[in-house]
């Protein structure tokens, strides 16, 4: 059965069957929906469907609010581990002095306040999937210990000398350039390669506008039910305003805007004035992108250009690749395409090696 084009996790908590009842829960999923309507998103879903059945570690890269946690959840839900725990831990939110105990567990008396033995998140996720969000914030000494866990498939609780076997698929999420962190010496190269068996680059919401209507309507349905406003609907003009907005905060910002509109709109239809969209000067150029492209196409046609499409696509790919310092992950995310699609284009242009077709890009 094909996956739904709209995948969402409505609960605020991620439930772990293996986690002790008294334990504080890990940070919750922050985005509640991700859509696969846009061609860029459909390509991402195809990539996820190939990765999900495997046990490969995956690094999920994307701006804040693009739904990295839900992509991880999608991988878990469509894997053979789906009946086991899924746990998301925000590495940046953990107290520095307690990170090791949180991840790997501790024995009674291991440190001041350790009044009882406690399993860590790796043990809680045994048999399932553990998402390490903001992995780049992990301190170097913890990176060493994490690498050992990934290599040996066992943890040693703080204050213990006895290893405990764990069977966990580890996913990592980040909105920073891990390769740059490796080059700067802030992130271990061996840990990067251990985690980065595969990479999923999530485009920003402004790069996948066809997802916006599905997400907006989902959030309207969600919040009108919660706020008991069943008569409220989204007007066409409001939907058009949402689609044209640049969404610097991505899906999370869209959800907040719709929530606010459902809460305060006089109804029965949400209109553009109800949306309270923030105007960000830094992204003003995005609103005129289509007009600029149309003007460029008109100019090329008027000039009798016979290979206009191929020249434009070639320029876009080269410009994106150069702008991102030849980093394929960042380029794919910036252009709103999958890494495999980008590699195909780069191979056709002769920028990287590959078994590429010799047909023009536009064929």
Q: Are 249 and 65 in contact (CB under 8 A)?
A: yes
The answer to whether residue 83 is domain-embedded is: yes
The residue among 169, 160, 26, 172 whose CA lies nearest residue 102 is 26
Question: Which carries the bigger pLDDT value, residue 235 or residue 341?
Answer: 235
The residue among 110, 108, 41, 102 whose CA lies nearest residue 71 is 41
Token couple for 321: 């690749």
The answer to whether residue 297 is domain-embedded is: yes
Tell me the CATH number at 145.
Answer: 3.40.50.300
The answer to whether residue 11 is domain-embedded is: yes
The answer to whether residue 358 is domain-embedded is: no
Domain count, the chain: 3
What pLDDT is recorded for position 117? Answer: 84
From 27-31, 84-88, 126-130, 335-339, the region with the lowest mean pLDDT: 27-31
Q: Hey, which residues does 155 pair with through a beta bridge?
A: 164
d(CA 361, CA 363): 6
* Structural domain for 163, as ranges: 6-203
Q: Is 241 in the same domain as 259?
A: yes
Q: Is 251 in the same domain as 341?
A: no
Is beta strand 163-165 parallel, antiparallel or unpaired with respect to 269-270? unpaired
The answer to whether residue 258 is domain-embedded is: yes
Residue with tokens 């990067």: 192
Residue 306 has pLDDT above 80, yes or no: no
The residue among 159, 184, 181, 200 whose CA lies nearest residue 58 is 200
> Which of 175, 203, 231 marks a domain boundary?
203
Q: Is 43 in the same domain as 138?
A: yes
Q: How large is the angle between the packed helices 308-323 and 328-335, nearest 10 degrees?
A: 130
Tell me the CATH number at 246.
Answer: 1.10.8.60
The answer to whether residue 327 is domain-embedded is: yes
% of the chain surpassing 70 pLDDT: 82
Q: Is 71 in the same domain as 59?
A: yes
Q: How many of the other CB atoms lie within 10 Å of CB of 325?
A: 11
pTM: 0.71
The answer to whether residue 360 is domain-embedded is: no
From 97-101, 108-112, 302-306, the region with the lowest mean pLDDT: 302-306
The answer to whether residue 359 is domain-embedded is: no
């Amino acid at each position: 059965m094909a996956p739904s084009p709209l995948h969402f996790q409505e609960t605020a908590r991620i439930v772990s069957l293996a986690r002790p009842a008294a334990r504080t829960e890990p940070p919750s999923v922050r985005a509640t929906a991700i859509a696969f309507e846009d061609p860029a998103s459909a390509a991402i879903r195809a990539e996820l469907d190939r990765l999900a059945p495997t046990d490969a570690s995956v690094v999920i890269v994307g701006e804040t609010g693009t739904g990295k946690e839900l992509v991880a959840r999608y991988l878990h839900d469509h894997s053979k581990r789906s009946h086991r725990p899924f746990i998301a831990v925000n590495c940046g939110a953990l107290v520095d002095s307690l990170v090791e105990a949180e991840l790997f567990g501790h024995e009674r008396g291991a440190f001041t306040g350790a009044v009882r033995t406690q399993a860590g998140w790796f043990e809680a996720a045994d048999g399932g999937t553990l998402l390490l969000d903001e992995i780049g914030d992990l301190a170097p000494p913890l990176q060493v210990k994490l690498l050992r866990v990934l290599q040996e498939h066992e943890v040693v609780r703080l204050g213990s000398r006895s290893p405990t076997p764990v069977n966990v698929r580890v996913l990592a999420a980040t909105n920073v350039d891990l390769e740059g962190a490796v080059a700067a010496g802030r992130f271990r190269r061996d840990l990067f390669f251990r985690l980065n068996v595969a990479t999923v680059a999530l485009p920003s919401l402004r790069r996948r506008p066809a997802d916006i209507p599905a997400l907006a309507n989902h959030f309207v349905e969600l919040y009108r039910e919660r706020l008991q406003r069943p008569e409220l609907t989204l007007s066409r003009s409001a939907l058009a305003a949402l689609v044209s907005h640049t969404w610097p905060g991505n899906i999370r910002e869209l959800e907040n805007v719709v929530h606010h509109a459902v809460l305060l709109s006089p109804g029965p239809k949400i209109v553009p004035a109800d949306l309270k969209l923030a105007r960000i000067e830094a992204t003003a150029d995005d609103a005129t992108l289509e007009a600029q492209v149309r003007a460029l196409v008109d100019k090329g046609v008027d000039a009798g250009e016979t290979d206009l499409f191929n020249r434009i696509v070639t320029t876009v790919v080269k410009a994106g690749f150069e702008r991102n310092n030849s980093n394929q992950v960042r380029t794919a995310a910036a252009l709103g395409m999958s890494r495999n699609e980008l590699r195909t284009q780069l191979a056709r242009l002769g920028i990287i090696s590959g078994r590429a077709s010799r047909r023009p890009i536009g064929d």
